[in-house]
Amino acid sequence: MQYGSGALQQNNGADQGDEGWLTLRYRKAYRNYLAPMGYGDTPLLITECGVDGFVGGRPGPPEARGWTDFIDTWLASGLRDDPPGVYMDQLIWYDKELRKDDYVKGAAIFVAGASPGWESYDILGRTAELLQQYLEVHPPY
């Protein structure tokens, strides 16, 4: 999920600081447009978040879609042999970033209970269990 934020840019692009073009882009909109117009406290609900393979120029197999399609890439990169835990680490990173912005009121992970064709995005099972544990310690907004 961090790809495209901060220094993790395509083609060695410029460091985006605490913003990004693929994730945390909402900060650009708030800082450059909404806040100067007096709307910087407008509540934001993020309706879908998570790892999405449709992003171009990203690491991993070209045909990858959801987070489970990146497991081999994560393992080859030396990340621990716990794919749901690795994905949860990314969701935790994202949650910590969202909590820095008071106007962000929540984000929905795509997807719990996938329909056919979307199974690689599904968080049901161990990932959902890890998420529940995290939310017990870090309750939603």
Average pLDDT, the chain: 91
Is pTM, for the whole model, over 0.85? yes
Residue 2 pLDDT more than 60? no
Neighbours of 126 (CB within 10 A): 14
Let me know: does 30 contact 47? Beta carbons within 8 Å.
Answer: no
CA distance 71 to 83: 6
Residue 7 pLDDT more than 70? no
CA distance 77 to 22: 21
Amino acid in position 90: Q
* Predicted confidence (pLDDT) per residue in 90-122, tens digit: 999 999 999 999 999 999 999 999 999 999 999
